[in-house]
Amino acid sequence: MSWKIAPQIEEILKKAMDFGGIDREEAVEPCPLNCLFCSLTEKAGIFTEKIEFPLDDVMQWARIGEENQADALNIMTTGSYSFAKLLEVGKLLKKTVSVPLVANTRDITHKEDEQLLETGFVGAYHAVRLGEGMDTPLKVQKRQCSKIKSSMHPATVR
């Protein structure tokens, strides 16, 4: 298979392979939630437009991760990213690679948790941060998942 990747994306991937950081201009996807700690927000002013990577690129990056013996693929989305699109990406990734998939996305319901499992994800990342409710527009009680009982293995849900 032959594919071509944009030079700027290639550079970002090289930095990632070397465990390096990326510049402000190298990552673009403003999030409207405007959490004060996050650089992906509209208010931070770093990102001026939304970008969604082509699925072919995401699949190729996943193959590269698998070839390099990644222990998992952490699929991160902003708080406003479509959950349906996340499921679509997960389904395609599950067909493409055997690496476990972990979702790092917005707050989800129990039903959505089950949909992630059905799609092929093995876990979901979730955190309540210091300053939650003051530095974010989110309610601490909701972030603590008091009503949501995960059907995922406890070790995979954070």
What pLDDT digit, counting tens, does each position of 119-134 carry? 999 988 766 666 767 7
**pTM (predicted TM-score):** 0.61
The pair of structure tokens assigned to 106 is 């917005």
Residue 60 exposed, middle or buried by CB count within 10 Å (0-12, 13-18, 19+): middle
- Give the three-class secondary structure for 94: helix
Asked if residue 49 lies in contact with residue 28, where contact means CB atoms within 8 angstroms, the answer is yes
- Token pair listed for 36: 């004060």
Q: At what angle do helices 7-17 and 55-67 cross, to 10 degrees?
A: 30
CATH 3.40.50.300 describes domain 7-156: no
User: Is pLDDT at 81 greater than 80 in this prediction?
Assistant: yes
Distances from the Cα of 134 to the Cαs of 34, 98, 129, in angstroms? 11, 40, 10
Would strands 101-104 and 121-125 be described as parallel, antiparallel, or unpaired?
A: parallel
pLDDT band at 29 (very low <50, low <70, confident <90, very high): confident
- What is the pLDDT averaged over residues 141-151? 49
Residue 114's pLDDT band, with cuts at 50, 70 and 90, is very high
